[in-house]
Structure 1
Amino acid sequence: LLHYGVTTDRHRHRLQQIVCQAIDSPLSDIGFKQADAAGLYLKDNKFSNVYVSDMLRARQTAESILKHNCSCSALQIIYDSLLKEKSFGIAEGQQMKEVKELAKAAGQSFLDFTPPGGETQEQVKERFKTFWEKLLQQIGHEHWDMADDGIQDAPVHVLIVTHGAYMRQAVKYLMEELNCSIPQVLNKSHMLSLSPNTGLCRFIVSLEKEKDWFRHTQIHCVFMHRADHLQLLQE
């Protein structure tokens, strides 16, 4: 699970740290460098499936990552609107500090605040639930009969490229409603913090089949918001 790279709007002074869903900004030069760094970091991972938000910044991030991975050259990317960013309503395009002021006036934290006309956390969660169920069924039907030689050589390795606020609700759902286990070194506040651009989260999911339906039996978070690859940009 991966957050897209920095966009052009983040590097315009007057729109620095804006919040947006409807503004479909492309990656900036730094964003492409971040995506390339993530691609080099993941180049030896053989992905069986790739799901990406249909927004431009996520598409460009995924394409930049996969160009470094020769095992994915023939892989079809699935662009899915269920993975797009949370809608921020009247706050679309505003600076983050302005939205934080709106949240403060409403007596809420920035991360929990829903601007008028925006999507609630519950609505974003429902979108992810729909995607999750669709994902399990597709993965199950495509790969159920393939051998699994253990975690290192698991035949099913899925890459999902999406957005920060959406990722937070997805992780919250996995933890609180699907009982995802987490590493002892991590706490809940870190799990539910916003991911850095091109931050990586890894989950191991076990499935079982009942008749023609697939469901998870266990979910474990291996790491959260890893950004080791970005160190290469600072050297």
Structure 2
Amino acid sequence: MGFNLLGVAFASDQSGSRSILCKQHSRTLYENFTSTREDVACRGPPEDLLIRWPWISHRPKPVLTFSGETQCNKDGLLQGQKIDSPLSEIGIQQSEAAGQYLRDVKFTNVFVSDMKRAKQTAEIIARNNRTCPDIELVADPSLKERSFGIAEGGRVIEMKNMAKAAGQPLPEFTPPEGETMEQVKVRIKGFLKTMFHRIANEHQDKIQDGETSLADETDRAQAGLPDDGVLNVPVHALVVGHGAYMSIAMKYFFEDLKCPMPRGLDPSQRYSICPNTGMCRFLITLKCNNVDPALSDLKCVFINRRDHIKA
């Protein structure tokens, strides 16, 4: 079973294993989400579940996909977790534009951070959707923004100065009482596991037995359309989160999980700052057995798309 993750993207089992097909098999990914190869070997051949997942980050704002702008963003203040700001007027306009851009994309699941700015963004996008305006929004605290400890509420430039004084790049710097990148990765892994389980349980009817062959849309140039990469994929999840959190998720996808880059994309763009309501899309393949769905493969369709706010 496969699904589309916008911003990023299963199968269940009775006697064999099932997978969310995101297309080529990756041993690295497989071993990251299963116990041992020996244990997997006795489960039999996989069944496939293909899911496309768009991941919208919220900027304080985020990555895979961002939420809209807040007044704190505009004022150059660091929000993190302690400052739970609503969207500014511009943030609302950005979210409306994102909703219009995605209005014909049929989402099967929506996951969102439990912080105000992300929830507002998700609500606006869902309200604009013509295929699923009443879809349930699943709020998950594991999607919260990265905590910046004592730096929260201060100016972003102040944290930049703190990082410089510590001799560390800003993304890798952890202020006192803040979350390290590794701690955020633990939350990302926890969210993925929860999402995989929920999608596998809710979409068992879309699981396919045996090998699944789909045209690899990540290997061709994208047309810049809202439905790039979503053809023939039965499950499409939207994830709305935050900037720093999403940046770490991108690092986790591309470095830890060895996700290949989309054709024609400059590798240096992988970790560039995603704009508010910027979008990334990934294709994920999961192997599902009678214990846990396990990530088998991951491919990126596009990152940091902002066509809806170019004007």
Bin the TM-score by the shorter chain.
over 0.9
Q: Please tell me the residue identity of whatever aligns with 1:5.
A: G
Does residue 143 (structure 1) correspond to residue 203 (structure 2)? The answer is yes
The Cα of 1:139 is off from its aligned counterpart by 1.0
The Cα of 1:184 is off from its aligned counterpart by 3.1
* Deviation digits for residues 69-124 of structure 1 (CA, Å, limit 9, x no counterpart): 13222311000110000000010011111111110000011111111110000000
- Determine the C-alpha separation between the residues in 1 that align with 2:297 and 2:95: 30
Deviates more, 1:173-182 or 1:50-59: 173-182
Q: Please tell me the residue identity of whatever aligns with 1:4.
A: S
Aligned match of 1:120: 180
CA contact (8 A) 1:208 1:215 kept: yes
Runs (4+) of structure 1 moved beyond 3 Å? 147-151
- Determine the C-alpha separation between the residues in 2 that align with 1:191 and 1:211: 35
Does residue 169 (structure 1) correspond to residue 228 (structure 2)? The answer is no
CA contact (8 A) 1:174 1:180 kept: yes
The Cα of 1:212 is off from its aligned counterpart by 3.9
Instruction: Give me the TM-score of the superposition, normalised by structure 1.
Output: 0.92
Q: Please tell me the residue identity of whatever aligns with 1:83.
A: L
CA contact (8 A) 2:110 2:239 kept: yes
Trace 1:38-187 onto structure 2 (pairs within 5 A): 38-146=98-206, 151-187=230-266
What SS is found at the alignment partner of 1:85? coil
Aligned match of 1:220: 299
Whichever of the two has the greater Rg, that structure is 2
- Determine the C-alpha separation between the residues in 1 that align with 2:71 and 2:299: 35
Deviates more, 1:185-194 or 1:118-127: 185-194
What SS is found at the alignment partner of 1:70? coil
Name the Cα RMSD after superposition: 1.6
Aligned match of 2:4: none
Does residue 35 (structure 1) correspond to residue 95 (structure 2)? The answer is yes
Aligned match of 1:4: 67
The Cα of 1:147 is off from its aligned counterpart by 6.1
- Structure 2 segments unaligned to the other structure (5+ residues): 1-54, 57-65, 215-229
Q: RCO (CA 8 Å, sep 6+): is it higher in 1 or 2?
A: 2
Aligned match of 1:18: 77
What SS is found at the alignment partner of 2:269? helix
Instruction: Give me the TM-score of the superposition, normalised by structure 2.
Output: 0.70
Does residue 230 (structure 1) correspond to residue 281 (structure 2)? The answer is no
Q: Please tell me the residue identity of whatever aligns with 1:66.
A: A
CA contact (8 A) 1:20 1:93 kept: yes
